[in-house]
Amino acid sequence: MDQEDQEVRGYLLMDQPNWGPNGQAVYERTYRRIKENGQPEQWLDTVTRVVDGNLGLVDEKHHEKDERDKLIDLFYNFKALPAGRHLWMSGVPGRQFLFNCHHAGWGEDITTHFSFTFDQLMQGGGVGANYSNEFIDKYEPVKHGVDVHIVCDPDHPDYYELLNMGVLSTEYSYEWGGATRIDDSREGWSEALATLLGAFWNCVEVLVLDVSLVRQKGAKIKTFGGTAAGPMPLAKLLTQTSKLLSDRVGTKISSLDAMLIDHWIGECVVSGNVRRSARMSIKNWADEDIFDFINCKENSGEHWSTNISIEIDDDFFKALKRGNTHAESVYKTAVRGMLTNGEPGFYNRSLAEVGEVNPVPSTNPCGEICLEEWENCNLGHVNLDFFYDDFEGAVEAHRLMTRYLLRATFGDVPNDKQREVLDRNRRIGVGHFGFHGWLVKQGVRFSDSHRNRYVRKTLRDFYNTVRKEARRYAFQLRIPEPIKVTTVAPTGTISKLAGRTEGIHPILFKYYINRVRFSTVDPGQILQLEEFEREGYDIEDDLYTPNTKVVSFVAKNQLLDEVTALGYDADYLVESAAEIPLADMLAVQAMYQEYYADNAVSFTVNVNPMLDQVMAVQKQFQEGVPAWEIVMPSPSDARVEEIMNTMVHYLPQLKGTTLMVDGSRPQSPYEALTKEQYEMYQLVMVGDGIDEDCAKGACPIR
């Protein structure tokens, strides 16, 4: 570190950051860029790029004295961190696409929804949407069949892959003058899909789409990083969509049809194995086809790119109280699904719209931000664990993160609809991670925290700090005060950098195996895999995703030793998720929703599977059933009723609710070990968390 770096002017920056146990590996896999001189960034390079990029979004007169240095100190030492999208894109030359997630609305033209979804996923963001019939039924039936042909120049390096997969036309050539040439850009791909969709409603008889300009598989992608997937994924998306719409001529597409097209879009984007396609699909409980929605992932192999949640509201709770058969059936079927495969969740739209000016029909993919149509989310997180004995320091971290996120609202937004909503709402989400450590290092058990007056008051103080600074700084910037300002996100990879617990989750296990996934097509991740292999880690092919390896780390949660060092009884004070009653888990989430988060709280309640469920899963795997086809058996009626009776008291207090059955799938991200089993392995200390993939579906890698 040179002299200028050490000066970060009155703040102590260690020669090496205090990484979490596997934080450096996560950083190098996910957020480190290559500098102009061809050398990889170090953490200080990344932090400086991010801070300078953010400050550069507004005039220097709107910076506080030493604000740059304070932010560098905050981020470098993991006292707080912006969302991963900022770490990846802030300060990058050119346009700054800083927003993690978006809500795809439903415009007058049906193509608008799908084009928006495609565009945002290709930018590396996640997309939520509401597929309730009130949004889908307004569109006219598919008017006319279209004879669709995909063509390509035979000199294209991927021509024979396209030919062998049977997607190329045998009737038209790429040289035909009427062909629509698809530009090799995210706009070009999105426009190609819009052209295809529009043809079915505008009575186009023949459509020839030329993919010759799409760069070959393996070519480098400069702006977002990674390598190109070639034209095959796009050709597959266009072919699948054409076939579905051809089968619907004369009828309206259903909500499940719309979801399927969005899923294929997600598949297309994820094919390069660099970006993860994260989606949220929501549907109203009263829709007549709600059970098709609830069961959409069963035995179909489809819709794996999305989380699904049922939209509930005040009418739902009234119907439950009256004993309405449909409401009861939806509730019971949903809880049974949660206890089987973690889905669907619940989205309480009536509570979510308290304090909103306009409707918020959907959340982002992980559920922590409720969004208007076309709106985006803008997140940053304070590491509460770092400040367990420093209230004033925590307050200042909240204030600085508020300012950072308000400046980020000036980032690039190419979509005019989204820019309009962003300029009006200026919604931000200052969140937390390291909550469990913050509690136990003050002598508070997780299961007792919702009853603790100090905890509740401190959370309210943090909220007031954020709201006050948002109001003050927005006035200075001459923009509207943010409509809402606080949230709790899962913080998967962000919390791993610092080795702290994710969001407000308790530790999942005290002793466990942590499995981390690495790409086998990304050069940097390949080098990491080679290093792990030399060091003797267990590495195997991912059972679920191609071009991916899984590295297993044997782990003891570091909170145990940290709490012991403070003089506490760690065995008593540090509870794993399995030791915390469901009612206390939900009560902690409800406390956070009431005292801190004016947006929503993303929180997955982990429950233990029944023994017969575990044995049934293991038996299928031993019999050679592919991991992605393994079916978790349904829980008993008694177990379902038990969970229903507990949840019903908390659902009205929560904007979103998700349950996940632990440890039931092969190659799950976390697998519990006993203390004795742990001691048989090489002792490797790593952090803990819930699930990088937001319980079900997939979250953006950055």
349-406: pLDDT as tens digits: 999 999 999 999 999 999 999 999 999 999 999 999 999 999 999 999 999 999 999 9
The H-or-E segment that residue 279 falls in is strand 278-284
401-442: pLDDT as tens digits: 999 999 999 999 989 999 999 999 999 999 999 999 999 999
pLDDT band at 11 (very low <50, low <70, confident <90, very high): low
pLDDT at 150 over 80: yes
pLDDT of 628 = 65
612-632: pLDDT as tens digits: 777 887 788 788 887 767 777
Question: Quick one: average pLDDT of 206-219?
Answer: 91
The C-alpha torsion from 350 through 353 and 358 to 360, rounded to 10°, is -80
pLDDT at 529 over 50: yes
Give 189 or 203, the one with higher predicted confidence.
189
Residue given tokens 């979804």 in the structure block: 117
Alpha carbon separation from 605 to 158, 202, 226, 582 (Å, rounded)? 46, 47, 34, 7
- The mean-pLDDT minimum among 100-109, 206-215, 266-275 falls in 266-275
- The mean-pLDDT minimum among 13-22, 244-253, 437-446 falls in 13-22
Quick check: helix, strand or coil at residue 390? coil
152-170: pLDDT as tens digits: 999 999 999 999 999 999 9
Tell me, yes or no, if the pTM score tops 0.85: yes
Mean residue pLDDT across the chain: 90
pLDDT of 702 = 55
Ramachandran quadrant class, 203 (left: phi over 0; alpha: psi -120 to 50; beta: rest): left
Question: Quick one: average pLDDT of 192-205?
Answer: 94
Radius of gyration over alpha carbons of the chain, in Å?
Answer: 25
Which residues are within 8 A (CB) of 33 and not within 5 positions of it... i.e. 6 or more apart? 40, 41, 46, 49, 88, 92, 225
pLDDT of 693 = 46
How far apart, in whole angstroms, are the C-alpha atoms of residue 129 and residue 107? 12
Quick check: helix, strand or coil at residue 659? strand
The residue among 264, 179, 185, 172 whose CA lies nearest residue 228 is 185
How far apart, in whole angstroms, are the C-alpha atoms of residue 42 and residue 37? 13
pLDDT of 630 = 73
pLDDT band at 218 (very low <50, low <70, confident <90, very high): confident
Question: Quick one: average pLDDT of 476-489?
Answer: 98
From the CB of residue 37, how many other CB atoms can be counted at a distance below 10 Å?
Answer: 5
Q: Tokens for 657?
A: 């609710």
pLDDT of 700 = 42
- The mean-pLDDT minimum among 256-265, 508-517, 531-540 falls in 508-517
pLDDT at 687 over 80: no
Question: Quick one: average pLDDT of 672-681?
Answer: 82
Question: Quick one: average pLDDT of 2-30?
Answer: 72
Give 512 or 80, the one with higher predicted confidence.
80
Which domains are delineated in the chain?
17-101+368-498 (3.20.70.20), 140-251 (3.30.1620.10)
pLDDT of 688 = 54
pLDDT of 158 = 92
Instruction: Establish whether the linkage from the previous residue to 344 is cis, with ω within 30° of 0.
Output: yes
Which residues are within 8 A (CB) of 163 and not within 5 positions of it... i.e. 6 or more apart? none
pLDDT of 225 = 58
pLDDT at 501 over 70: yes
pLDDT band at 682 (very low <50, low <70, confident <90, very high): low
Question: Quick one: average pLDDT of 552-557?
Answer: 86
pLDDT at 698 over 70: no
Share of the chain above pLDDT 70, in %: 92
- The mean-pLDDT minimum among 104-113, 396-405, 616-625, 649-658 falls in 616-625
Give 67 or 697, the one with higher predicted confidence.
67
pLDDT of 670 = 80
Which residues are within 8 A (CB) of 261 and not within 5 positions of it... i.e. 6 or more apart? 114, 241, 244
pLDDT at 690 over 90: no
Residue given tokens 């799409």 in the structure block: 214
Q: Tokens for 235?
A: 């050709």
Sign of CA dihedral 246, 247, 250, 254: negative
pLDDT at 226 over 70: no
pLDDT of 9 = 56
Strand partners, 227: 220
How far apart, in whole angstroms, are the C-alpha atoms of residue 365 and residue 83? 14
pLDDT band at 547 (very low <50, low <70, confident <90, very high): confident
280-322: pLDDT as tens digits: 999 999 999 999 999 998 766 689 889 999 999 999 999 999 9
The H-or-E segment that residue 119 falls in is helix 111-122
Q: What are the residue numbers of the active site?
A: 366, 368
